[in-house]
Amino acid sequence: MSELPQWSADFADDRLGEVVALPLPDVREWAFGGGTGAGVRVAVIDSGVDATHPAVGSVAGWATVVDDPEEPTGHRVVEEPHEDLVGHGTACAGIIRSMAPDVEIVSVQVLGANLRTRGTRFVEGLHWAVDHGVHTANLSLSSRSDQLYAPLHEVCSAAYFAGIPLICAANNVPGPTYPAVYPSVISVAARPGADPWALACNPRPPVEFGAAGIDVEVPWANGGSIVGTGNSFSAAFVTGMVAVLLGKHPWVTPFQVKAVLQAVSDNAVVPA
């Protein structure tokens, strides 16, 4: 097995512990049964998405954040098709599609070919997604910069109050992990296991949920696939779950989404 990413150790069986969940009857069937994610627009904020990859199939919307010193923010958004500069965004989109086959993928390209970006581009891309009709967003990227704590916190709060759940991967390495540490988002790390629908809830956050992400086969560049490990992939699995939930029950709010995810977690117990 590959070395565990940072935060994954919290989801080891001997450390996890139980969480008390709401007594929701048949919660998995209610949340996911027969759902396909139809009608749900999912922003994949990443390195781009390859719409021709067989695991992705189609992309319903595009946005690329580019530098522009003449703009007040220093950036502008180009709403035209783009390529995946790495394969990472395609991996996340393909995972989401495998869970929720009828979602509409919106690709928001903020990462460069080295999987890095200016933090302000990340913030701009997230603002664009919140303002352009997505229902949820996958953020398999994070920042370690304290300077971005406030700007990211502001836009994540805006998403929360707009009813848009943000699913955020924690950093794979030690250190700050923004925006995954914010209570307004759904934070995810990797845990062992091959079941894409398996979930664990951490009673000792900041990282709240653990999902498949250790040695998983994921789509990648040039129509291919790789076996990879990372919190990025775990977040995409949870985004797929959330998309199915929203497709069946579009009225649920971000805090209700968290309650449902807790209730379907493997270590959830219902009080007597």
SS3 of residue 92 by DSSP: helix
Beta-carbon contacts of residue 173 (< 8 Å; ≥ 6 apart): 5, 6
What pLDDT, in 10s, does the model give residues 78-122? 999 999 999 999 999 999 999 999 999 999 999 988 877 788 899
For 156-203, how does the pLDDT look when each residue is reduced to its tens digit (9 = 90+)?
999 999 999 999 999 988 888 899 999 999 999 999 999 999 999 999
d(CA 93, CA 83): 13
7, 170 Cβ separation under 8 angstroms: yes
Q: Is residue 169 part of a domain?
A: yes
Residue 213 lies inside a defined structural domain of this protein = yes
In a domain, 93, yes or no: yes
Alpha-carbon span 215 to 111, nearest angstrom = 23
User: Which range is least confidently modeled, 11-15, 107-111, 267-271?
Assistant: 11-15
Which CATH number does the domain housing residue 73 bear?
A: 3.40.50.200
31-41 confidence digits (pLDDT tens): 999 999 999 99
Q: What is the mean pLDDT of the chain?
A: 93
Does a structural domain hold residue 41?
yes
Supply the pLDDT for residue 1. Answer: 66
Is residue 30 one of the residues assigned to a domain?
no
Tell which residue, 60, 62, 58, has the closest CA to residue 78. 62
At 23, is the pLDDT very low, low, confident or very high (cuts 50, 70, 90)? confident
Which pLDDT score is estimated for 146? 92
141 CB-near residues (< 8 Å, 6+ apart) = 45, 46, 110, 111, 115, 117, 122, 169, 232
Domain, as residue range, for 88 = 8-13+35-269
What was the pLDDT predicted at 96?
98
Report the pLDDT value the prediction gives residue 172, as an integer from 0 to 100: 84
Q: Residue 75, SS3?
A: strand
Per-residue pLDDT, averaged over 129-155, amounts to 95
Q: Tell me whether residue 2 is in a domain.
A: no
The number of folded domains in the chain is: 1
| Domain assignment of residue 24, yes or no | no
Helices (H) and strands (E) in the chain, counts: 7, 13
Domain membership flag for residue 27: no
* 193-204 confidence digits (pLDDT tens): 999 999 999 998
